[in-house]
A and B are shown apart, each in its own frame.
Chain A
Amino acid sequence: MKQKIRKYYIGLVSVILILLTACNDLNQVPTGQFTDDTYWYSTDKASYVLNMAYSQMMGDNYFFANEALSDNLFVTRTSDEKLISSGIANATTGRFANEWSDCYGGIRTCNTFLENVDRVPAMDVTLKARMKAEARFIRASLFFRLTNWYGAVPLFSKNLTATESKVIGRTSHAEVLNFVRTELDSAVLALPASYTKADIGRVTSGAATALKARTYLYENDWANVVVETQKIIDSKTYSLFPDYAGLFSIANENNSEVILDMEYVPTLRTWSEYFDYSPPSAGRRVNQQSPTQELVDNYMTLNGDSIQQAGSGYNEANPYVNRDPRLAVTVLFDGGIFKVQVTVPKPGIVDSVIHIKPGSKTVDEYKTGTGNNSMSGYYMKKYYDPTFTGSYSSGLNLILIRYADILLMYAEAKNELGVMDQTVWDQTIKLIRQRAGFTDVNATDFKATWTQSELRKIIRNERRSELALEGTRIFDIRRWKTAETVLNTYPHGAKYGEATIDNGYIRLDKRSFNPNRDYLFAVPQAQKDLDPNLGQNPGY
């Protein structure tokens, strides 16, 4: 009996042992991802974290949505940008929360890189120094984005703990800017002026200087704008690319004009915003936003006069001829050309004339409030990439700072300092206009009779025309404090509306901009709830 029981026990124990050893172990670690213990062992892996920071520096969604906040575009559909431009955004509006968290997400990546890269054994010292500078540049650019939108923001240079994140207060706008500039100064020293081959597209010392110039520009600190832009001009590293339209094509990426951009590759790393911007005949999804008549009207005629000027040659009945060549590159208007992909008779890209005017009997025709088409009668065109694949997936780089911008900054600062003259003009606006395709001397040459304020208008209009749809306009009208005027009115579309209203130009939904509130974004409500020390910007 005893023996029998012992036998059972032996049987039992062996069964249990088999059960517990037959299958997966209790100690499981992931097979498809690294852990903190296994990650920081190679230069390559460290560089992947830095690459992630690059991807978080800016997003194509913000690139185009920022333009939608300005008077260059009209937003058709409900979106955060629509709420903001209608003046009915509040502290819970998604854009405010997203911009905040996306920026701090990128900052975390930079800090994680900076705090761990020294763990990598036998890493090349020069490379490490350069990579650290790249990370610090990206971090500085993110703090700059933050302080532009929100004013005072939490500032730190090491990863926060969860506890710290719940009590941190905001650092003043001036101090954040100070930090950004100091970081950029050290980046300028540690970064190369240019790269070769596989590294082209990384941030350079020139990019750091240019970004620093922008930090002064947004503060109207003209003397320092001149100092920083002068450095770039003098370095002769950059020049205007000869073909304005070609600037925004895949064939000419990383050309001599590009100082800082977001890099993409066809089919692999792409953006697809034009899916919702293109005309219907090009197979788009919906129409999310479209250029305004106000933007179209900003473009001069070929003789350099504004369309309002007598003798400009502007003909309201045939408004798109005899105009600044940049208009047709930037905006698709009735009778304009859009490159469309076809498969018949054979696959390729053909020039398609787009008819928008009512009565033209095409799918692109403007219809009052019924269709899914542009409500302004215009479509966006700049950065449209006809070589897209699938649902408008484009691999075209999006430029964040280009040399023309530097020249315009330089010209503006010189004028604000009261020292605009022919030399400066010839170095800046003239070059830009000539490159745009102006040949009339009335358009390209400096006039000594211009007053400072006339020049101011000329330079500002030039800036709008040159940089339209590149995401800079909203920051310009904010620093000029003209946002409260241009964003506080009805935007308009083409002259397809009722003749009795606004001379027949389509009257679009009214915009609203409260100068006491809207120069800053709201601190996101949820963030304020989690961290009582954040406070709120006025008016929210």
Chain B
Amino acid sequence: MNIKKINKPKQGHRRFVFLSFIFLLFVGSANLEAQNRKITLSLEKVSLRQLFNAIEKQTDYKFLYRDLILDDLKDLSVNVEGKEISTVLDQVLPGKNLQYKIQGTEINIIRKATVSTGNSITVKGNVEDESGQALIGVSVLQKGSTKNGSVTDMDGSFSITVPSGTEITLSYIGYLPENIVAKEGKLIKVKLTEDVKKLDEVVVIGYGTVQRKSVVGAVDQIDSRKIEDRPVSNLAQALQGVSANLTIQQRSMNPNDNQLNINIRGVSTMNNNDPLIVIDGLVTSLGSFNQLNPSDVENVSVLKDAGSSAIYGSRSANGVILVTTKKGKMNSRPVVHMNSLVGIQSPNVLYKPVAGYENAILKNIAANNTGNTLPYSPAQIQDLQKNGANSKWFLDEILQNALQQNYNLSISGGGQNSSYMVSAGYVNQRSNFVSGNNPSYGMERYNFRTNLVNTLGLFKLTTIMSYNRNESNSPNADTGNLMADGGRIPNYYYYKQKAANGHYLINEVLSQFTPLGSLEAAGSNKYDTDYLNGSMNAEMKITKGLTAKAMIGIDLNANHRATRSLQIPYYASEEATTPAIFQNIGGKTSDWNQKEYTINTQFLLDYDRTFNGSHHVSGLLGVSNESYSRYSNEIWMNYVDANLGIPTSETALAGNIGGKTTPMNTTLSDIESMFGRVSYSYKDKYYGEVSFRYDGSSKFAANNRWGFFPSLSAGWRISGESFMDSYRTNVGDLKFRGSYGILGNQNIDDYNFLTTYQNYDNQYSFNGTTVSGTGFTLGNPIITWEQSANFNIGLDATFFNNKFYGSFDYFNKVTSGILLSPVNPSVLGTAAGIENSGEMQNRGWELTIGYRARTGDFSHNISFNLADSKNKVLAFTGNELIHSGDSKSDIIRVGAPFASYFGYKTDGYFKSYADIQNSALPVGLDATQLAPGDVKYVDINKDGVIDNKDRQILGNAFPRFTFGATYELNWKGFDLNVLIQGVGERTMFLRGELIEPFHANYSYTMYQHQLDFWTPTNTDARWPRLALSGSTSDVNNYGYSSQTQLLNAAYIRLKNIAIGYTIPKRITSRFGVQKLHISANAQNLLTLSPLTFYDPESTEFLNNMGGPKGVGANSGRSYPTLKYIGFGLDLEF
């Protein structure tokens, strides 16, 4: 057994290290006796390295000095004849603080054990960062020693006893190390400078960690500083804009359905494009990700290329997001950290209706334009104008400012053998919808977490247990309908939602219900989730460098939803005494329960060793199982008790009264995997890595179940070469890296390989009794994994002594065998089973730069990222598929980006009747039915008519040139944080009332942004001339998917700005407070975009960005963008 256990002792291992050391000395000297050889040397002013070379030439011995950096000082002179090697080494090594041991023909040079030699002195000092904050836990080490060290305490103070004149190294992760010379008596004050590139930062990668400088894949790590203290309600919001090509689009800001699309490097499959989420080593889901308390997160790693993600082969084709939660530190006193953020979220509806009388005039203009009777008489218009002050837009009546509160408390610390981090968090985000008699809408989340690390000899046990509860109360109405109904009402004073006596009113426009009635009295949906995430991770050191790890984790979601639907009377007028109609007749209640859990078990062997100080070898071999189960049931009841919602004698269980009862609805799936990785690096100059994963999925038939996913990566730190010495000294670090690998994707529904028969109750009926019907779904037994070949090449560079860094990546991904339901002719009569038939390419690049500067008392930290990705469909069964809905079409076409907007190009507006006569018109349209100011389409194929053959690709919903920038400024105790984020190129397809005035007789008002319409005197207008719905002009202008509905949704947004002040410690420490930081922050304060009437950040992509129907069209129904302004308080003691 080899016991060279001397390098990198860890705290808590000290006794073991010490014992090993004694043992080593014993073994070492025993060998020494046995293996002595005599040498003759005559050397003047040589370095140690040259001396060793000389000895090696004369003998069979070989010097090994791993982990040591020998100085190159030519300060040795040796003159011996026929002396033993030991004599020479004894003579020169002590001066270098080194010693040796001989084993066989190897001479290991190691650091000398710290034994105080004579005049030791005690050095005291304290360490702070550039803003003057004390740095806790900074490692203080005697240079050349691995044993004689200390760490800074809560005040940043340290004390160390070293030989006089020796150097002391202060190092701290994320900061550039600093050396000081030990001098007695004086209190040394050290300021550490942050290392922008953080070469020694530990980066979390799949099943392990690696130092930043050794990273050869495209990995981005976001640390807690970017996540903490942001007034966000979930982690995804905090990640927006901070990493290149990590595109996060908010589908709704509604606290009750906070939908976000997370995407890494664009759309690469036509199925689910969600990245794989791994929390503390446990594969889980996006849902669980959003349940996390952002304050508990230590860091988030984004694995973008094959090199880094192939170890997760199975589902890593869309990238991987690794979340690591905070752990306590060994040997540190308890630190209590409290933080609170309280603010107001105000709804920011960007479109506004025109005044009531203006609306009536505009409607008259539209009617006049299309030859219809004028709907409003002059008297009516005058009446509207006279009473205009009394009108209130319905949308303003249903929206309000809402309070958001975030509170967190954590205690962390550790003893010799264990550490702990215990936290609790509470978020309360109120909805911006008014709620009247209903309980207030919004969501609350409680987070509890205990992360424990225990070590016992060779064992290390990490136990993570987190419990989160989410409670939400949402309107018993669809957000889209509430927004649409509220927004479509013209500003007429006589339209009211509620009479003075509290009666809810209908009118001929909203004749079923009003949004205010629905919000205030229609009941609500209560939704709660209990989420438990727990894991136990045991590590055992088997032998030097070899660790065995076993882990079992469970991810459990228990969801429950209870819906109460209440009957509301509506009255036809303010005076009416009997209701005209009722909403939710009978009232109804439903209960839905679902339990889903994933059990994840892993076993790994991890090997990590450095040989000869230059050859670093690490490897990993593992097996894992992920087993997912879901059970759900639902019960509906009608005619329940009006107050409690409990059954009464009239109550009917759904089943014979409408609604449904479902018995246990079960889904089970399973993935079994083997995986491994071998990496090698030489002198931090050359890096190579191979990894693989072999996965079996229950989603495929037995013969096609297993997929093999290998990857290869390599890196070259060119600045480490000797010919780059001067570059390294004068410029900085430079590293090239590249990777290639095959990744997999199986994110499809279960059981697709089987032809299945689904039973539907109440499908038909005979003689008043319903009967079941059976439908079928064709399966395809030969389906297997989608494969994504992924090439990445990158460059990392630092300049000006690491003050400036830059990183660039280019990637090319080709996904083949995309699982698609082939587009077959309808005569087949059913959808054919999915098959591995699609192929897509996705190419792009990422640029990240950062700069850190210090001018006087000001320190600035700037980082910026810019990225692009562009996809192209390479193969597709049937070559193209057009999907149309309302007046929007999108197309999947070989050679074009996935799901591109498809339709007619426009060529401005008809200038004259002659222009109409001479132009191609949409098929069936008659020139006499159109007029100047109507939309003119481009006859692409010049066949004299505008028809299907003229349709072109118009744009794409996926954002290009996404960017984010952060700026941090510190001045004395003050700090400023700014996050700017945006999109350089994107087209948005918007349909409905925000585009078309008086949309299809659904909307009754025009909006202010529509006022720039064509008139004979305003011919370069933004919008065509006004026309009544249903008129030929209206069909011509808005009835087709065309450029009329296409908008430029590029934007730049001040996403977050925070100003804070840390109360000087000399004041706070009097109250036992280590840190007191107050701040004011704001989100979404300012947006610049060519699109001014709708939030450019809202997305048309549906859930997970996949599927032939993955892209919808905005119709102006989304929850408004929220502006947040609030205050924060951070307290630490």
A residues contacting B by CB (< 8 A) are 1, 8, 12, 15-16, 18-20, 22-36, 39, 45, 47-49, 51-52, 54-55, 76-78, 82-83, 86-92, 94, 97, 100-101, 104-109, 111-112, 154, 156, 159-160, 162, 165-166, 168, 197-202, 253-254, 263-265, 267-270, 280-286, 341, 343-344, 362-363, 365, 367-373, 389-390, 393, 497-498, 501, 509-510, 512, 514, 524-527, 529-531
Contacts and interface: CB of A to CB of B under 8 A. Distances in A.
A530 B765 contact: no
A233 B852 CA distance: 96
A35 B777 CA distance: 9
B825 A48 contact: no
A280 B268 CA distance: 49
Nearest to A44: B772
A166 B627 contact: no
Contacts of A101: 826
Given A15-B603, A25-B670, A286-B1002, A372 B923 contact: no
28 contacts: A12-B603, A15-B550, A19-B624, A25-B670, A26-B697, A28-B698, A30-B756, A33-B759, A35-B754, A36-B755, A39-B757, A39-B774, A52-B775, A78-B1035, A86-B924, A111-B829, A156-B827, A201-B765, A263-B766, A267-B658, A269-B762, A285-B511, A286-B1001, A363-B511, A368-B372, A369-B367, A369-B1028, A527-B825
B191 interface: no
Given A51-B763, A264-B765, A509-B1031, A28 B512 contact: no
B751 to A, nearest CB: 5
Contact of A372 (B372, B509, B548, B628): B509
A527 B826 contact: yes
Interface stretch (B740-748, B806-814, B876-884): B876-884
A284 B880 contact: no
A202 to B, nearest CB: 6
Contacts of A87: 924
The residue among B1, B657, B773, B774 with the most chain A CB atoms within 10 A of its own CB is: B774
B726 interface: no
Given A15-B550, A33-B756, A530-B823, A92 B884 contact: yes
Interface string B943-981: 000011000000000000000000000000000000000
Contacts of A344: 578-579
B670 A23 contact: yes
A32 B698 CA distance: 17
**Which of A26, A168, A269, A282: most chain B CB closer than 10 A?**
A26
Given A90-B947, A201-B765, A268-B765, A19 B774 contact: no
B822 interface: yes
B542 A8 contact: yes
B825 A109 contact: no
A25 B698 contact: yes
Contacts of A498: 373
A286 B925 CA distance: 27
B70 interface: no
Interface string B695-714: 01110001001000000000
A76 B1030 contact: yes
Nearest to B887: A78
Interface of B: 1, 363, 367, 372-376, 506-509, 511-512, 542, 548, 550, 569, 572, 578-582, 585-586, 599, 601-603, 605, 623-629, 656-658, 665-666, 668-670, 672, 696-698, 702, 705, 750-751, 754-760, 762-776, 779, 822-830, 832, 878, 880-882, 884, 922-926, 929, 947-948, 1000-1002, 1004, 1028-1032, 1035, 1039
Contacts of A527: 825-827
B986 to A, nearest CB: 26
B625 A367 contact: no
Task: Name the prevailing secondary structure of the A interface residues.
Answer: loop
Contacts of A107: 829
Contact of A32 (B666, B827, B832, B1004): B666
Contacts of A525: 948
B764 A162 contact: no
B948 A27 contact: no
B907 to A, nearest CB: 19
Contacts of B1002: 77, 286
Nearest to B947: A90
A201 B767 contact: yes
Contacts of A166: 824-825
B774 A45 contact: yes
B599 to A, nearest CB: 5
Given A91-B948, A373-B508, A269 B757 contact: no
Contacts of B506: 280, 363
Given A34-B757, A36-B757, A199-B767, 8 more contacts: A16-B603, A24-B669, A26-B670, A76-B1030, A87-B924, A263-B765, A363-B580, A531-B827
A170 to B, nearest CB: 10
Q: Which of A51, A83, A510 has the most CB of B within 10 A?
A: A51
Contacts of A373: 508
B383 to A, nearest CB: 14
Contacts of A27: 698, 702
A372 B824 contact: no
B824 A162 contact: yes
Most buried by A among B658, B829, B884, B948: B829
A36 B923 CA distance: 47
A168 B826 CA distance: 11
B882 A367 contact: no
A149 to B, nearest CB: 13
A51 B772 contact: yes
A373 B586 CA distance: 26
A-B pairs with the 5 shortest C-beta distances?
Answer: A108-B829, A23-B627, A88-B924, A101-B826, A52-B773
Nearest to B492: A370
B705 A26 contact: yes
Given A33-B759, A88-B922, A104-B826, A78 B1039 contact: yes
A500 to B, nearest CB: 10
Contacts of B757: 33-36, 39, 45
Nearest to B605: A12
Contacts of A343: 569, 579, 582, 585
Contacts of B374: 368
Nearest to A282: B581
Nearest to B1039: A78
A231 to B, nearest CB: 25
A255 to B, nearest CB: 12
A22 B553 CA distance: 13
Given A15-B550, A33-B758, A105-B829, A24 B1001 contact: no
A5 to B, nearest CB: 9
B770 A269 contact: yes
A530 B580 contact: no
Contact of A89 (B759, B773, B924): B924
A497 B763 contact: no
B822 A51 contact: no
Contacts of A370: 363, 375-376, 508, 1004
Contacts of B824: 162, 165-166, 530
A107 to B, nearest CB: 6
A77 B1034 CA distance: 12
Contact of B601 (A22, A30, A201): A22
B772 A112 contact: no
A49 B926 CA distance: 48
B1035 A86 contact: yes
B768 A253 contact: yes
A283 B568 CA distance: 12
Given A281-B572, A284-B511, A509-B1031, A197 B767 contact: yes
B624 A267 contact: no
A20 B572 CA distance: 67
A28 B924 contact: no
B1096 to A, nearest CB: 27
A88 B1038 CA distance: 13
Given A15-B550, A202-B766, A105 B830 contact: yes
